[in-house]
A and B are shown apart, each in its own frame.
Chain A
Amino acid sequence: MKNRWGLLLAALLLLALAASGAPSMDGEEQGEDCLLYFLASESKARGNDQIKSHMERLDVAEDAPLKELARAVVRRLLDGSEEAGLRSPLPDGVELLGLEILDRRAYVDFSSGVNRLSGVDLALADYCLTLSLTGLDGISAVSVTAQGRALGQQPKQVFYERDVLLSTMDDVVQAVEVTLYFLNSSNALTGERRVIELYEGQTLAENLVAALLEGPQNRELSRVLPEDFQVNFVRMENGVCYVNIPASSLETLPEDEEQQRMMLWSLADSLYSIGSVEELRLLADGEELTAFGMIPVESVASRPQG
C-alpha cells in the first residue's frame, strides 16, 4: 500500500515539473502588427493596384521606440512579405544603412543598390515605404536617400501618404451629394438633398438631370418637369453645362408662364448645385435656345453669384 502512494506522489511530482518546464501554450507570438505595403504579383493584381497592403507581425517589443519600429518596417519591406504573391518593392541586395526620424519625417538611407530603381519602379518603392512608415504614429513624411545622397531620378524628395490614390475597380461607384429642386405645397421651389450614385464614365450633370426627371423622393414635394419632358443629353465642357432637349419637347411646354419659369429654375438651380457648373446652355436638337417657352434663358445662363 505504501508503494502505491509513493508511485502516485512521484507521478504527480513529474506532472508538476513537466507543467512548470513546458513552453507557454497560449500560442501568441511576441511582436507588433503593422500594415505594410508590398508589390502584388502582376497576375494577381490585374484590374487592381500593383501596391497591396498586408498586416505583418514584426519582431519588435510592443513598447519599442518609434525608430526601432520604423527600422523593423523597412527591414520587412526589404525581406519581403510573409504572404505569398507579395514581394519587396526594393531590389535584392539593398541594405538599410540608416533611419532617422526628425519632425515627423523619416529619413531612410539605403545602400547604393537602390539606385538601380528608376521610373515607376522607383515610385512604387518610394510609396510602399511611405505608406508603410506613415502608418506608424509619429511619421507623416518620408525621404529616401542612397548612401546619404538624394536619388537622382526622383522627381521629389519628400513623400506623403496623401500623394497616392489607392483604388481598385470596385471603386467605380461614387456617391455625390447634390440638391434637386422640386415644388412644395405652396408652389415654391424647395431643395431636396440627394446622394447620386455616379458610375465610372457617367457625368454628374447627366445623372442629376435624370434624377430630376424621375421626380422627388419626398412625398410632400412634386415634380416640376412634366412626365413627357425629355432630354437628349447633358454634357460638361470647361464648366459649361449643355442640356440638349428635343425641339418637340418645347411644343409640349405648359402654356402658363409661371410653370415655364419654375421648370427652368428647377433645372438651373439643381445643376448649379454641382460645384463645377459655372454656366448653363440650353439646346434644342443642338441649336442653342435663347428662350425656354416665354422665359429668356439668359436669366439662368450663369451661376448666381453670392
Chain B
Amino acid sequence: MDTILRGRISLQLKISASYIALLVTVLVLMNTYPLLVSEDLVFRSKHTALQSSAAAINASVTGLDALTEENTAAAMAAAELEGISRAIITDPYGKVLYDTREAGNATGYYVFYTELVEALRGNNAVYCVYKEGAFHSSAAQPVLYRNQIIGGVYVYEYDTQQASLLGTLSGNLFSISVGIAALMLVVSLVFSRQLTQRLGALQTAIRGVREGAYNQRARLSGHDEFTQIAGEFNDLVDRLQETESARRQFVSDASHELKTPLASIRLLTDSILQTENMDNATAREFVSDIGQEAERLSRITEDLLQLTRLDSGAAEPPTLVEVEPVLERVTRMLRPVAQEKEVAVYVSCGPGAVIAATEGEVYQILYNLAENAVKYNRREGYIRIRAETGEETTVVTVEDNGIGIPDEDLRNVFKRFYRVDKARSRAAGGTGLGLSIVSDTVSRRGGAIRAESIPAGGTRFLVTMPCRLLEEDV
C-alpha cells in the first residue's frame, strides 16, 4: 500500500509540477511581454515628445547670435513648456544660462549631462529609462547660429503618470496571474488527484488479483483511457478466473480419474492377497483386470501429457498434410475395434484434400473422432468420415448413427473429463480427454469444431481446418 501511495504521490507531484511549470512559464510571459511592449511604446512616444519639446525651445532661441542669461530668459518668457519637467539652455561649454527648476536651479553652473554634452558636440540626443516608478526621459539639441554651436537645449521629463498606468497594468496582470495561478493550482491538484485516484483503484485491483483475489475488479466510471484499461483488465481477470476455475476443475477431475483405476487396482490386489487358496482362474481374472486398469491409467496419463503439450503452446510449423493417406491409416487402425463392435466405417475424401498442420495432429484429430464414433455406437451401426477442401478451408465430417448426445451436453463435450454417460464411457475405455485433445489441436491450428445431433439419430462432428499455409509458416 505504501508503494502504491508513493507511486500515486509521485505521479501526482509530477503532474502537478508539470502543470505548475507550464503555468509559471505562461504567467512569466504574461507578466513580462505586455509590460515590455508597453514600456517600449512609452519610450517611443517619449522620444518623439521630448524631441518636439526640445525643438520648440530651440526655436524660441533661434536667431540669437550668442546666448546669455538675459536673452534666453527673455526668449523663454513666451515659450510653451507643457509636458516637460525641466528645461535647460546652456552656452557651448555647458554653462547653464536658463533653468526652469525652481529648487536647486542650475543657472550659472556647468552641467555635463551626457545627452547635453552630445548636443553640444552637434548631435541630437534622446534617452528614456523606467526606474523607481517613473519614466525618466531626456532629450537635447544643439542651438546653432550660422552653423556654429552657440549652446544647447536640454529637456527632461519625470513622468509618474504613465509609470503609474504601467504600474497599474503590471499590478492588474499580477493580480490576474495570482488568480489564475491559484485557480490552476486547485484545478491541477483536483485533476491530478482524480487521475491518481483512478490509477490507485486500478493498482489496488491489480494487487488484489496478484494476491489471488480473482473476484477483484477495477471499477472506474467514465470513458477515458483509464476506463478502457480497467475494462481490459477486468476482461483479463475474467479469463484468468475462468482459466483458474478450469485448472482447479481439471486437477480435481484428473485426480479423480487417476484415483478410480488406482482404487480398483488396490482392491483387486487386496482381494488376491487376502483370499487364501484362490483358484487360478479367479486369480488370472483379477490380474487381467489389474492389467486393464493399468492400461487405463496409462491412457489417461498419455492423454494428459498430450493436453499439457497442447497447453504449452509450442507447436511445430505446419505443413500441408494430405488427408486421404491419414484417413486410410486411421481406418486401418480402427478396423479391429469396429469389427468387434460390428460397426461399418465409410470414408470419402475429396480430391487434393489437405490440412495445414502436422501429420501427427491430423491423425490425432481424425483418430480420436473416429474412435469416439465407434466406441459409442450401437452394434451394427456405422460411421462416416468425409473430407472436402474448399478455397480456404478443409471440412472434415465424422458422423455416426449411434446413441447420440443430448442437446444440453453438446456444448460441454469438448471439456476435459466431461462425459455424457460416465459409466458407459469408462466401460468403453474412454478417458474423457479425447475430444478435448481434438478441440485444443483444432484451435491451435486456427480451425473450429462443433458437434451437432443428427435428427434421425446419431452425432455429427464438423471440423474446419485451414488448407493454406500462412506467410509466416512458409
Interface residues of A (CB under 8 A from B): 40, 42, 45-51, 119-124, 127, 155, 163-167, 169, 172, 174, 176, 198-204, 236, 276
- Our pick among B93, B111, B114 for the contact of A45 (Cβ within 8 Å) is B114
* A-B residue pairs in contact (CB < 8 Å), sample of 26: A40-B114, A46-B129, A49-B112, A49-B113, A50-B113, A119-B93, A120-B117, A121-B121, A123-B95, A123-B110, A124-B94, A124-B117, A127-B110, A155-B93, A163-B110, A164-B111, A167-B111, A198-B103, A199-B158, A199-B160, A200-B85, A200-B101, A200-B156, A201-B84, A201-B86, A201-B158
- The answer for the CA separation of A198 and B152 in the assembled complex, in Å, is 26
B57-111 contacts to A (CB < 8 Å): 84-86, 91-96, 101-104, 106, 109-111
- The answer for the CA separation of A137 and B104 in the assembled complex, in Å, is 27
Q: Mark B441-472, 1 if CB is under 8 A from A, else 0.
A: 00000000000000000000000000000000
Q: Mark B108-145, 1 if CB is under 8 A from A, else 0.
A: 01111111011011000001010100101010000000
**Contact across chains for A164 and B114 when beta carbons are under 8 A apart:** no
- Contacts across chains A and B counted by CB atoms under 8 Å: 98
Chain B residues near A199 (CB-CB < 8 A): 85, 158, 160
Chain B residues near A122 (CB-CB < 8 A): 93
Which secondary structure characterizes the binding site on chain B?
A: mixed
- Residue B258 lies at the interface, judged by CB distance under 8 Å to chain A: no
Q: Which residue on A lies nearest to B132, using beta carbons?
A: A170
- The answer for the CA separation of A119 and B150 in the assembled complex, in Å, is 9
Which secondary structure characterizes the binding site on chain A?
A: mixed
List 12 additional contacts besides A51-B112, A201-B86; criterion CB under 8 Å: A46-B114, A46-B129, A49-B111, A49-B114, A123-B95, A127-B112, A155-B93, A167-B111, A172-B136, A198-B102, A199-B158, A201-B157
Q: Lowest 3 CB-CB distances: which A-B pairs, in order?
A: A201-B85, A120-B120, A200-B158
- Residue B195 lies at the interface, judged by CB distance under 8 Å to chain A: no
- The answer for the CA separation of A46 and B86 in the assembled complex, in Å, is 17
Interface residues of B (CB under 8 A from A): 84-86, 91-96, 101-104, 106, 109-115, 117-118, 120-121, 127, 129, 131, 134, 136, 138, 149, 152, 156-158, 160
Chain A residues near B110 (CB-CB < 8 A): 123, 127, 163-165
Q: How far is the CB of A101 from chain B (nearest CB, A)?
A: 23
- The answer for the CA separation of A167 and B114 in the assembled complex, in Å, is 11
- Our pick among B101, B111, B129 for the contact of A169 (Cβ within 8 Å) is B129
**Contact across chains for B113 and A123 when beta carbons are under 8 A apart:** no
- Our pick among A47, A119, A204 for the contact of B102 (Cβ within 8 Å) is A204
- Our pick among B103, B109, B152, B160 for the contact of A163 (Cβ within 8 Å) is B109
- Our pick among A42, A165, A236 for the contact of B109 (Cβ within 8 Å) is A165
**Contact across chains for B94 and A172 when beta carbons are under 8 A apart:** no
- The answer for the CA separation of A119 and B134 in the assembled complex, in Å, is 33
- The answer for the CA separation of A46 and B114 in the assembled complex, in Å, is 6
- The answer for the CA separation of A42 and B127 in the assembled complex, in Å, is 11
**Contact across chains for A50 and B85 when beta carbons are under 8 A apart:** no
- A155-B93, A165-B106 given; A47·B138 CB < 8 A: yes
**Contact across chains for A50 and B112 when beta carbons are under 8 A apart:** yes
**Contact across chains for A119 and B92 when beta carbons are under 8 A apart:** yes
Q: Which residue on A lies nearest to B127, using beta carbons?
A: A46
- The answer for the CA separation of A276 and B111 in the assembled complex, in Å, is 23
Q: How far is the CB of B279 from chain A (nearest CB, A)?
A: 114
Chain B residues near A200 (CB-CB < 8 A): 85-86, 101, 156, 158
- The answer for the CA separation of A176 and B103 in the assembled complex, in Å, is 8
**Contact across chains for B121 and A120 when beta carbons are under 8 A apart:** yes
Q: How far is the CB of B123 from chain A (nearest CB, A)?
A: 10
**Contact across chains for A47 and B127 when beta carbons are under 8 A apart:** yes
- The answer for the CA separation of A191 and B302 in the assembled complex, in Å, is 122
**Contact across chains for A165 and B111 when beta carbons are under 8 A apart:** yes
Q: Which residue on A lies nearest to B131, using beta carbons?
A: A169
Q: How far is the CB of B50 from chain A (nearest CB, A)?
A: 12
Q: How far is the CB of A28 from chain B (nearest CB, A)?
A: 35
